[in-house]
Structure 1
């Protein structure tokens, strides 16, 4: 049973990387299969699995991609803040830094509209 469970877990994680943490949690709850089949919560952060992006970061990346394709230049932090419904630009700064760390985009500090897409999931 454990081998079949491991195969199902791996297939689910490959199909939906965002579910890796939940799959690992459920495996740990049902049996001690988590250690036996080596399904790790770090699978969500592995390259090729959306880079471990949060849902908000994914929303921001899609907004930036769409905005650049429509307008030809990057949105301002204020526009990104409004699009995601945030109260302050600090959250945008954190998300931009996270996406930059994961290699999805680059930007020049203290330069308006300097975001450049590197890769998209």
Structure 2
């Protein structure tokens, strides 16, 4: 397994960390935020805000420490990659085995009835 290299901001102390997986196709972003009010008027909690992916379907969590945030991000990314792998698994072998089993059963029935 290759070593995971987290990029950090140039600020002192760093306020964000990023890890790019799968050639940059999946990004884990961690940002430290103090308690603030979002434009929608909701209270955002302070802590390490972890986000995997971009947009509406991004997975998010808020954790109290950076090691927890990194661990959760990597585990959630593994789940995402597993889901992607399962989507690309062909269902043809199951269909092929079902058709083959049906053909064998029909052949056995044919031989029993007409021999």
TM-score range, shorter chain: under 0.3
TM-score normalized by the length of structure 1: 0.23
Higher helix share: 1
Instruction: Give the alignment's TM-score, normalised by structure 2.
Output: 0.23
Q: Greater CA radius of gyration, 1 or 2?
A: 2
Q: Which protein is richer in strand relative to its size?
A: 2
